[in-house]
Amino acid sequence: MPAESKRNLNKKINCSNQQKILQILAKEYPQVTTLLKYSSPFELLLAVILSAQTTDKQVNKVTEKLFKIIKEPRDVLQLGPARLEKMIKGCGLYRQKSRQILETSRLLCIKFDGRVPQTRAELLELPGVGRKTANVVLSVAFDIPAFAVDTHVQRVSRRLGLSKGKNALAVEKEICSLVPAALWKKTHRRLIAHGRQVCRARNPLCDSCPFSSYCPTAGKE
């Protein structure tokens, strides 16, 4: 078989496996939602900022008390740095996160009339907000198609052969080319769920993984 024909055949097989994996993913995790608890776009924004290098469970413990006194950006400014640091100390990196939340709240008041903006470009102006956080806020708070890539998504996508991207942006672009925009949010959540439950960073449960027949790295890590 000519080399070009062989490459095309391998590409077709790979695409077929990718679509099969996505179908199984939807079947295994039909109803998945974010674990972060929030009641407004602003609360979600703060929760995602706080979630860096911290579990969602720990963030929820902190925000359960925090969100009783903070409802909008001006509440954060009235709270002040010392009290804010004390309230979010359980999240780790709390001093850095406190500065980010205060500066973000100040900018929201000055530039966005106290409201969380609904474009990626504007969200990225906020301290502590990177592309992943912006995409989470867009998709979850405003139901605007966006695909967020965290460590779980990047790890699972690469292991399953859904992406060869070496960084979060490359993974985002490849997944978005495979999945319809209407399914980006669900696919993001499904990949996270699989990463937490089965395809863990250490000692992945390959023997009980529903993708083992299609996964190119099954049993290799």
CA distances from 115 to 73, 108, 142 (A): 8, 6, 12
Q: What is the pLDDT of residues 104-135, one digit of tens each?
A: 999 999 999 999 999 999 999 999 899 999 99
Q: Is the predicted pLDDT of residue 88 greater than 90, yes or no? A: yes
Compute the distance between CA of residue 140 and CA of residue 124 in angstroms, rounded to an integer: 16
Percent residues over pLDDT 70 in the chain: 92
Q: What is the pLDDT of residues 136-168, one digit of tens each?
A: 999 999 999 999 999 999 999 999 999 999 999
Please, which pLDDT band fits residue 3 given cuts at 50, 70 and 90?
very low
Could you give the domains of the chain?
19-32+146-208 (1.10.1670.10), 41-141 (1.10.340.30)
Annotated catalytic, 132? yes
Q: Which of 97, 132, 185, 186 is catalytic?
A: 132
Residue of higher predicted confidence among 13 and 105: 105
Closest CA to 145 of 154, 136, 153: 136
Q: What is the mean pLDDT of residues 90-97?
A: 92
Q: What pLDDT does 17 receive?
A: 85
Q: Which of 6, 111, 150, 185 is catalytic?
A: 150
- The whole-model pTM stands at 0.88
Annotated catalytic, 89? no
Q: What is the pLDDT of residues 178-213, one digit of tens each?
A: 999 999 999 999 999 999 999 999 999 999 999 988
* DSSP-derived secondary structure for 110-171: HHSTTS--SSHHHHTTSTT--HHHHHHIIIIIS--------HHHHHHHHHTTS---SSHHHH
